[in-house]
Amino acid sequence: MSAGDPPAPLPGARLLFSLDPAVSYLNHGSFGAVPIGVQRVQQRLRDEIEANPHKFHTQGMLDRVIHTRRHIAAFLGADPDGSALVPNTTSAISLVLQSVRLGPTDEVLLTDHGYGSVGLATRRQCRRVGATARTVALPLGASDTEVISRVRSALRPGKTKLLIIDQIASSTAAIFPVREIAAAAREHEIPILVDAAHVPGMLPVDVSAIGADFWVGNLHKWAFAPRGTALLAVAPAWRRRMEPLVVSWEQEQGFPLSVEYQGTLDYTPWLAAPTGLFTLRTLGWEEVRRHNAALVAYGQRVVGAALGLTPADLPQPATPETAMRVLPLPAGLATTGPEAIALRTLISDKLATETAVNAWGGRGLLRLSAQIYNRPEEYDRLAERLPPLLAGLQR
């Protein structure tokens, strides 16, 4: 296979999913796609609940949750006794912001690559207590050295009470050196929260080795779990201070059970998640990662060329293993959030293709994902049909 060729499809991979064959689903990064086998396991769990709801919730359910948490934590290299299953990264961010207990003179430091809801949650918590949310700009394509330098310079010892940074940024697909950034924050005793929403299943990770105070990743994006499955890992110094957003019957047990147990919450996504990891391992995780990374690189290349972009115009990730890449859209398109949503919807409706479109830094970015159910011809088709669509918007 030459550098410009797409990877060979994994045999039978498309049959594992129930996606509409009439739609090119190039947006795995937003909501994932659950394999049929995992769907069936979750349905069997739902059937078990409805056969005897009282028995399910009162006889051994918590033990099953703990077992699942240990399985997932082992996959991610996290301490199972210092981790909690949570519905998603967004809920974990709010939990951490509440537990850090900001004061009126404190600030939270974000980057301009951060996920939108993370910024909303941070600013709301800051408004409640009179704290400040501040953003450091990190150029797209900046080297690890420059990123570390910019973040280090932005820290204000004694004032910065929390640093929030992505491991893989959703809007830009940038990968940041979180281990080195955590070390820099630790020099000033500033806690760091790593938003790793896209990491589980996409990149190999050893959470404990990162050294973050808080790390959270979704399993329902790249690890084939049902939606509503994420893991929050918390450093030992913070575990006694973690306060759940909703108090329920395991409150006195402390973290993690006080966070995990929420009464009649639907626990089936968590309990089915190990089947997603089993699916990933059965397929061969290294092979899945290789395929996805090569395919999205091909997609970025062919769509970028169709839009008149040179290789130098295409942002490259810090590691080639990523399964998401972005392309700058023509100037003037999707420069605001509402415009980005409108263009994403237009591409969906007119081209029967699901992508992610984000406004970032005054420019629209088209984000492509690749998963084992995708085929090179889907990116070829987008490359052929997208330029005329965009040209019509620029008239």
Q: Which two tokens stand for residue 271?
A: 């309990």
Give the Cβ contact number of residue 3 at 10 Å: 8
pLDDT in tens, 259-271: 999 999 999 999 9
Q: What is the pLDDT of residues 156-199, one digit of tens each?
A: 999 999 999 999 999 999 999 999 999 999 999 999 999 999 99
Q: What is the mean pLDDT of residues 91-119?
A: 96
CATH class of the domain comprising 13-33+284-394: alpha beta
Going by pLDDT thresholds of 50, 70 and 90, the confidence category of residue 2 is: very low
CATH 3.40.640.10 domain locations along the chain: 38-277
201, 182 in Cβ contact below 8 A? no
pLDDT at 307 over 60: yes
- Sign, Cα dihedral of 122, 125, 127, 129: negative
* The predicted structure's pLDDT at residue 395: 60
Question: Considering the domain 38-277 in this protein, what is its CATH number?
Answer: 3.40.640.10
Query: What is the tens place of the pLDDT at every residue in 326-342?
Result: 999 999 999 999 999 99
Instruction: Note if the pTM is more than 0.85.
Output: yes
Name the pLDDT band for 85 (thresholds 50, 70, 90).
very high
Residue 1 has pLDDT above 60, yes or no: no
Share of the chain above pLDDT 90, in %: 95
Cite the residue boundaries of each domain of the chain with CATH code 3.90.1150.10. 13-33+284-394
Over residues 290-310, the mean pLDDT reads 97
pLDDT beyond 90 at 304 = yes
The pLDDT of 22-38, averaged and rounded, is 98
**Statement: residue 319 has pLDDT above 90:** no
Taking residues 231-246, report their average pLDDT.
96
